């Protein structure tokens, strides 16, 4: 499974030192309600399970991420290969620069129970709970954690863990997103320099296939 498909067939409070559990659900609720736009750098590490006696395979990538709630986001992969994922509210575009290939899918059909829904689509916890079972998890690395398990059991996504912390202005920000699929592949996205509610132009989420690119509609 490619990095793009894993992500799509995928947000995401400072804790007292004496606290064993944090109310991650409250942090997630606050994040969804108050963070309408966001922007950050990210690194992604995808680990595939060992097969036939071989060591697990690890792939690393990095880039920039931005979103505008509800339903618009953009992942721009810079290293090691240039790839772009753009959701404009109607269509999900995936562009592989090396292959000069674009895949277009109806957004409403692919983002329901995926990490993308946790990032940018939902406007409250009730909307998320229609697709996920949400539960608090123990504090780890100073972050409040939530585990999201898809209610649908026939998809490729097994579980998502979201790590949030309070920003300087007191609004929870996304720090880590861990994705586990049904094949045992694990993807960890770590965010840095998270900007809360920056002004983002609507054009940031527009995408036009480059001239000469192969466009596949699914």
The predicted structure's pLDDT at residue 68: 92
Q: Is residue 207 part of a domain?
A: no
Domain span at residue 164 reads 3-40+58-195
Q: Summarize pLDDT for 137-193 with one digit per residue, the tens.
A: 988 888 999 999 988 877 778 899 999 987 666 788 999 999 998 888 899 999 999
Is pLDDT larger for residue 1 or for residue 194?
Answer: 194
Q: Is residue 7 part of a domain?
A: yes
Domain-located, residue 191? yes
> Based on the structure, what is the number of domains in the chain?
1
In the chain, which ranges are continuous DSSP H helix?
3-8, 24-34, 107-110, 115-116, 125-129
Q: What is the pTM of this model?
A: 0.81
Q: Give residue 209's pLDDT.
A: 92
Give tens-digit pLDDT for 79-92. 998 999 999 989 99
Q: Is residue 51 part of a domain?
A: no
Domain annotation covers residue 187: yes
Report pLDDT digits (tens) over 48-73.
888 877 888 899 999 999 999 888 99
Residue 214 lies in a domain: no
Above 60 in pLDDT, residue 6? no
User: Does residue 205 lie within any of the structural domains?
Assistant: no
What pLDDT, on a 0 to 100 scale, did the predictor assign at position 53? 75
One-character DSSP codes across the chain: --HHHHHH--------TT-SB--HHHHHHHHHHH--EEEEEEEEEEEEPP-TTPPPEEEEEEEEEEEETTTEEEEEEEESS-EEEEEESSEEEEEETTTTEEEEEEHHHHSTTSHHIIIII-SSHHHHHTTEEEEEEEEETTEEEEEEEES-SSSSEEEEEEEEEE-TTS-EEEEEEEEEETTS-EEEEEEEEEEES----GGGG---PPTT-EEEE-
Domain contains 45: no
CATH number at residue 142: 2.50.20.10
- Strand pairing report for 214-217 and 101-106: parallel
């Amino acid at each position: 499974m490619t990095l793009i498909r894993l992500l799509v067939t995928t947000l995401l409070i400072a804790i007292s030192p004496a606290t064993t559990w944090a109310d991650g659900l409250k942090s997630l609720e606050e994040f969804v309600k108050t963070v309408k736009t966001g922007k950050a750098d990210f690194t992604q590490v995808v680990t595939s399970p060992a097969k036939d006696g071989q060591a697990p395979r690890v792939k690393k990538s990095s880039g920039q991420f931005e979103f505008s709630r509800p339903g618009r986001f953009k992942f721009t992969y810079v290293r090691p290969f240039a790839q772009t994922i753009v959701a404009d509210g109607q269509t999900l575009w995936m562009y592989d620069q090396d292959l000069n290939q674009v895949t277009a899918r109806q957004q409403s059909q692919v983002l329901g129970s995926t990490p993308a829904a946790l990032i940018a689509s939902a406007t409250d916890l009730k909307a998320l709970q229609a697709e996920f079972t949400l539960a608090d998890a123990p504090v780890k690395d100073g972050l409040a954690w939530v585990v999201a398990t898809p209610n649908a059991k026939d998809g490729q996504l097994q579980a998502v863990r979201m790590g949030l912390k309070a920003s300087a202005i007191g609004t929870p920000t996304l720090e880590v997103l861990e994705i586990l699929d049904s094949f045992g592949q694990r993807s960890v996205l770590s965010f840095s320099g998270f900007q809360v509610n920056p002004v983002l132009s609507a054009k940031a989420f527009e995408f036009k296939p480059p001239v000469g690119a192969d466009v596949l509609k699914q």
